[in-house]
């Protein structure tokens, strides 16, 4: 893998140096760092890497990505300067005319936070897995220990396409599909859009995003879950962040918990942001229910695991101190320009 990364890096750097236009440079960027790029292909093949080597490989990929991004930005600035000089030589400029401003796009705050979360978990040896948004009722509910008469179905407020087809209410079906493949151990996160029949207000939307994680291996304990999520919170919100766990109930985990983190605004002293408690609720988690393992073809006597789920919009609102979720979707350029 190290040799493969070195070869990709060498080839891309050569292509960057050979680029004589911004269009060609952008083609190099897409071929190297895009969704179907060479580095993305390596990330998708993390499942083939030995579990103990995944953190090292993940870090190597991140290092190569950062070096390539730096080289691309430097070459872009160089080419832009060449284009600017050529334009000045070829055009007569009327300095009395008002200047024109280019409207340059950029990543959405949700996309920025999702990429940061993915990099954190890839660095810990996880792989990123995607699944269908239109899902079978079985994967969305029954395989997660939520039968047809379970009260949790009422809480989900599901959009039904047909009697057996739904718009997924969570990204947990991706975890079930991964478990059914039978390739163990599993270390994955599943980011994606989900749908629930909620009204639109400052904290709710019928369409939002979740990032759910799953680890299945021998001798996995609740301590592994706590350590993983504590490290995640520190990476995302700062080294001083503390976490605590409260008992809760989810049909697909047992025992279950909700995790709170210390308020990064006041350091846990109590403020308006944390409503005076010093703590902020951030995600739900727990040990995978033995029934869920068994339904997915995994022996609960031999394997155990943990799962967690966090709302992407929730951590975006927290990270950037935004108090209304609707701002993320109203496409107000005055708001989006801040990112």
Whole-structure pTM value: 0.65
Residue 308 three-state SS: strand
- Segments making up each domain of the chain, as ranges: 2-90, 109-336
Q: pLDDT tens-digit profile of 200-210?
A: 776 778 889 99
Residue with tokens 């009722």: 137
Taking the C-alpha atoms of residue 307 and residue 291, their distance in angstroms, rounded to an integer, is 14
**Portion of the chain with pLDDT greater than 90, in percent:** 44
The reported pLDDT for the residue numbered 192 is: 94
The reported pLDDT for the residue numbered 257 is: 96
Residue 94 has pLDDT above 90, yes or no: no
The class level of CATH for 109-336 reads alpha beta
Q: DSSP assignment of 267-325, as one string?
A: TTS--TTTTTSSEEEEEEEEEEPHHHHHHTT--TTT-EEEEEEEEHHHHHHHHTT-S-G
The reported pLDDT for the residue numbered 49 is: 67
Residue with tokens 């994606």: 192
Residue 155 has pLDDT above 70, yes or no: no
């Amino acid at each position: 893998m190290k040799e493969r990364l070195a070869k990709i890096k060498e080839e891309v750097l050569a292509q960057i140096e050979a680029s004589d236009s911004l269009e060609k440079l952008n083609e190099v960027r897409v071929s190297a760092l895009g969704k179907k790029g060479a580095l993305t292909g390596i990330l998708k093949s993390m499942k083939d890497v030995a579990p103990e080597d995944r953190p090292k490989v993940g870090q190597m990929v991140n290092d190569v990505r950062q070096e390539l991004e730096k080289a691309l930005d430097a070459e872009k600035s160089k080419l832009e300067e060449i284009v600017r000089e050529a334009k000045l030589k070829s055009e007569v400029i009327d300095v009395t005319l008002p200047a024109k401003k280019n409207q340059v796009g950029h990543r959405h705050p949700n996309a920025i936070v999702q990429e940061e979360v993915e990099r954190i978990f890839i660095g810990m040896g996880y792989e990123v897995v995607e699944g269908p948004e239109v899902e079978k009722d079985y994967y969305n509910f029954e395989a997660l220990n939520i039968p047809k008469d379970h009260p949790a179905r009422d809480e989900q407020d599901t959009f039904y396409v047909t009697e057996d087809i739904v718009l997924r209410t969570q990204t947990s079906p991706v975890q079930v599909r991964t478990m059914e493949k039978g390739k163990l151990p599993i270390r994955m996160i599943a980011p994606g859009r989900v749908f629930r029949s909620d009204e639109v207000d400052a904290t709710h939307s019928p369409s939002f995003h979740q990032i759910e994680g799953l680890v299945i291996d021998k001798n996995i304990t609740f301590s592994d879950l706590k350590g993983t999520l504590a490290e995640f919170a520190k990476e995302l919100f700062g080294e001083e962040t503390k976490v605590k766990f409260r008992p809760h109930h989810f049909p697909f985990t047992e025992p279950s918990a909700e995790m709170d983190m210390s308020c990064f605004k006041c350091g846990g002293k109590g403020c308006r942001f944390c409503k005076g408690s010093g703590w902020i609720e951030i995600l739900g988690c727990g040990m995978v229910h033995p029934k869920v393992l068994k339904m997915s073809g995994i022996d609960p006597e031999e394997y155990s695991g943990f799962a967690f789920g966090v709302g992407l919009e929730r951590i975006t609102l927290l990270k950037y101190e935004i108090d209304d979720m609707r701002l993320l979707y109203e496409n107000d350029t005055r708001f989006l320009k801040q990112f």
